[in-house]
Amino acid sequence: SQQGEEDPQALSIQEGENATMNCSYKTSINNLQWYRQNSGRGLVHLILIRSNEREKHSGRLRVTLDTSKKSSSLLITASRAADTASYFCATDAPGAQKLVFGQGTRLTINP
């Protein structure tokens, strides 16, 4: 069952620009998580935001959560070539016993 859906599916920007990815979901959640995956590797956890939080920061990353719109956004500021990866949102819904991952946004940073 698909809960989180990322938008856009692919994003290509110049190094130094900001990148924004969005995630929409269908049901209420306990928390929403963002992960990064470099090609052919495992996922790396970036940020977890709980349903009672609206914004969280971690270095150049900023995540917002709007539970009324059932959406979240991930902003990467001052992008670098090393940020090239796929980014996934995952939702933890009450009683679901598992995370549900979206299809991901493939981000390419051009030098």
* CB of residue 101 to other proteins, shortest distance in Å: 4
C-beta atoms surrounding 56 within 10 Å: 16
Q: Do residues 76 and 24 touch, judged by C-beta distance below 8 A?
A: no
First to last CA, the chain: 37
Here the tokens at position 61 are 């990353």
36 vs 70, beta carbon nearer other proteins: 36
Nearer to other proteins, 76 or 87 (CB): 87
- Minimum CB separation of residue 104 from other proteins in Å reads 6
Interacting residues with other proteins (CB under 8 A): 1, 30-31, 33, 35, 40-45, 48, 88, 92, 97-104
CB of 20 to other proteins, least distance (A): 19
Nearer residue to other proteins within complex by CB, 12 or 18: 12
29 neighbors 13 (Cβ within 8 angstroms): no
> Cβ distance 4 to 98 under 8 Å?
no
Name the minimum Å distance from CB 10 to other proteins.
Answer: 10
